Each structure stands twice: as structure tokens, then as C-alpha cells.
Amino acid sequence: MKIYLVLTDTNTILSKTIKFYTKAEYNHASLALDSSLTDMYSFGRKRPNNPFIAGFIQEDLTREYFIRAQCNILSCDVTPNQFTLLTNLIRYYEQTKNIYHYNLMGLVTLALNIDFVRDDVFFCSQFVATLLADSKIYDFQKEMHFITPQDLEVLPIFESIYTGSLYGYLASTQSQPLKPSLLAL
């Protein structure tokens, strides 16, 4: 069984701001349960036009910022037990999503290398790392609130399978033509 780490550069104002500081190519991390990225999860925008209303989300790849996004998609082999643990964790977050919030303060403390822990909050890479650790897929050597998309990208369990436009990847995995809304490049 495989899972997929999806790192993206959405070229939004928030992404550009983070990129200015980090100088990293990709600043958003999501975890997908399938190669078509239909079941892809993260902590991010709940409303497309407002990055500050954020929390647990199932990614909507028809949003404009994803259509024009660049990405690195990585895969990882997992055992059936790990996959079950992971899907159960995601189901739990879906059912309890109203108690979790986006860790905007965590982005600041991460940038300043301040060890500041808050309960029930995540930023994208912190959430992905938590899923990987709690489903026993990877044992991190540092605290989850210090994990960046770049840290995830270099994990030895992942292998890069695609780099380029997210739209290009989605087009290559579809058995039917993409929805017209996805053709608005």
C-alpha cells in the first residue's frame, strides 16, 4: 500500500510571505491516501479567499491556487496496519474538526525557533508529521511543531514520483477528462 506526500507552492500571498522567509521551494504539505489525490488532507484554508479561517481540511484541488500550483509528489510504502491507523486518525480528525484550529502562532514560533506548544492546533507540516508519527509510519527525532515541509521532503521513507505543475499531475492520473473548472489555466 502507498500513501502520498504532496508539497505545493500555491503562489498565494501567504505562500509568498512564507517563501520569502524560508527560501524553500514548497511551503504547503498535505497527505493523500491515493495516487489520484482524491483523499488528500492537511491543515489549511477553509475558505478559498481567507487564509486566516483555517483548520483541518480535505483538500479541494479545484481551487484556483491549486490549479496553478507547482508541486513535488512523493510516495511511501506502508503496511496494511499503518494504513488502517492512518485512515482511522484522519476519520477522527474529520469527526472532531471543530475543536482544531490553524496554528498561525506556531508559524511565528517556528520561524523564531521558539519551543512553544499549544494543544488542538496545527500548521500543515506539523499535522502531516503528527499523522505519520501517530500511525507509526515514521519516528521523528524532533518535536512536531518544529517540522517543516522541507523536513518531510527529505524523509528517507519517501520517494519523489513527480515534480511539476499539480494540474499536469492530475491530468496524467485522470481516466476521464478534467472538469472544465480545472482547465482554466
Please give the full DSSP string across 99-128, using - where no structure is assigned: G-EE-HHHHHHHHTT-----TTEE-HHHHH
- Helix boundaries (H) for the chain: 13-22, 64-67, 80-95, 104-111, 124-134, 149-153, 166-173
3-class secondary-structure state, position 2: strand
- pLDDT for residue 183: 41
Q: Which residues contact 113 (CB under 8 A, 6 or more apart)?
A: 146
Positions of the chain with pLDDT under 50: 176-178, 180-185
Nearest Cα to Cα of residue 22 among 9, 33, 31: 9
- pLDDT for residue 179: 53
Q: Are 162 and 73 in contact (CB under 8 A)?
A: yes
- Residue pLDDT, tens place only, 56-77: 999 998 888 888 899 999 999 9
Structural domains in the chain plus CATH codes:
2-183 (3.90.1720)
- pLDDT for residue 180: 44
